[in-house]
Structure 1
């Protein structure tokens, strides 16, 4: 009975402690939040706000100075009937395919070679990464001289008996020149990404493959590629995002204030972002450019999902062992 009589008293004494606990926790956690608050303030001002404002702007007609005029979905309607916009989409995807596929394959091969016991591997890694940190504007000017009609590229072709190519005048030449610049810039970066993934693969898998008589090609495609699936997925998605936003190469290589000649002859180098820039900052149609940016965002999201499904949708059991020697190996069955 005495115990039961004392129970309510203990509850009444503990109640104030429970009400003060949240305040104490808030005071204890407040200094760290204040310390990291500059990042969130800057992100809200220069990251989140521009995103939401661009979406709001895509429903308005605005020249950047005067008052905004609400036009609803007309910007998107006009885009869907803009032949230059559709031409820029086709150009962007052609350049993306011509650059991304060989770039990722070459990066994977380079990473596999760097992972082997080669001399001066550290120097090779630095050399491959230098293009990524080089000013793309400066290098585009250099490449413009290389791909000129009397430039180094055509001189080398003529030296081996091949007629010169109109790198900056023909449709295929323009797309090839831009693609080569993209490959030159990003192959080393992706090679180092693949190399980091290779170094995480247990050496026992490579040793088992060698014992079973696998060739270097079999090791690359039946051991390395399945084990690197998450890394390859990351590289494909980031390359897709970057490839669909190509701007500097086309802008510097074919700079022109006239929208009709932007992107080179026939506008074969006109990309989505270059057209967005032309409409926004040359024609001062910021609402039109914002709508174009959101369509580009939708395209990137769709292709990122498609790439994710294609790359990650295979046999997931490949990561647990060596799927190689079902045929072609010395002890295969």
Structure 2
């Protein structure tokens, strides 16, 4: 990941800067680690690259498990593709939707590898102005670089509580939308 995305988002010789300059969208190369919006965009691409295939395989397996008879009945009744998707596919894969939303939320809150690999100094600061520092990066910094286990423990408990609240909220939202 570090090698691929350092080649893509390099300031001087990055492929993304080259493509944007040749398309005439920018004149000067973008320093992807310097600004907040550019670093968030680059890290978002890394995260999307990481999670898209995983979630796509899970959704594919869930959609293949929906009984064919339901689709055949809908076709006989004259339902179109959109109505079939809304009334058959989505309710049938609702547990999978809940699972992927919760797992992706937890993964987003525990984001560590992408910001750590993207940080050129490698000191877990999250950029020069902490523009892409996450809670887990802060946990790593205080626990393993600063050797402040008490503060790192407090950060980990806060992270746990945030994940528990978000997972519960996601579960409630998905259950309510199913009614």
TM-score where L is the length of structure 1: 0.49
Corresponding position of 2:80: 214
Match of residue 279, structure 1, among 128, 133, 142: 142
Report matched runs for 1:219-258 at 5 Å.
219-256=84-121
Residues 157, 220 of structure 1: alpha-carbon distance in 2 compared, 3 angstrom cutoff? farther
Count how many residue pairs are aligned between Structure 1 and Structure 2: 175
Deviation track 1:33-66 (CA, whole Å, cap 9, x = no partner) reads: xxxxxxxxxxxxxxxxxxxxxxxxxxxxxxxxxx
Residues 199, 155 of structure 1: alpha-carbon distance in 2 compared, 3 angstrom cutoff? same
Corresponding position of 1:140: 2
Match of residue 157, structure 2, among 282, 294, 300: 294
Residues 157, 257 of structure 1: alpha-carbon distance in 2 compared, 3 angstrom cutoff? closer
**Counterparts of 2:70 and 2:97, CA distance in 1:** 19
**What CA RMSD, in Å, does the superposition of the two structures yield over aligned residues?**
1.8
**Counterparts of 2:34 and 2:54, CA distance in 1:** 30
**Counterparts of 2:107 and 2:5, CA distance in 1:** 20
Deviation track 1:131-166 (CA, whole Å, cap 9, x = no partner) reads: xxxxxxxx1232022111231011122232211544
Runs of 4+ deviating beyond 4 Å: none
Contact 2:143 2:152 in 1 (8 A): yes
**Counterparts of 2:59 and 2:156, CA distance in 1:** 31
Cα shift at 1:298:
0.2
Report matched runs for 1:56-205 at 5 Å.
139-149=1-11, 150-163=13-26, 164-205=29-70
**Counterparts of 1:142 and 1:224, CA distance in 2:** 36
Cα shift at 1:226:
2.0
TM-score where L is the length of structure 2: 0.88
Cα shift at 1:268:
0.9
Cα shift at 1:258:
5.1
Cα shift at 1:183:
0.9
Larger gyration radius, structure 1 or structure 2: 1
Deviation track 1:66-118 (CA, whole Å, cap 9, x = no partner) reads: xxxxxxxxxxxxxxxxxxxxxxxxxxxxxxxxxxxxxxxxxxxxxxxxxxxxx
Gaps of 5+ in 2: none
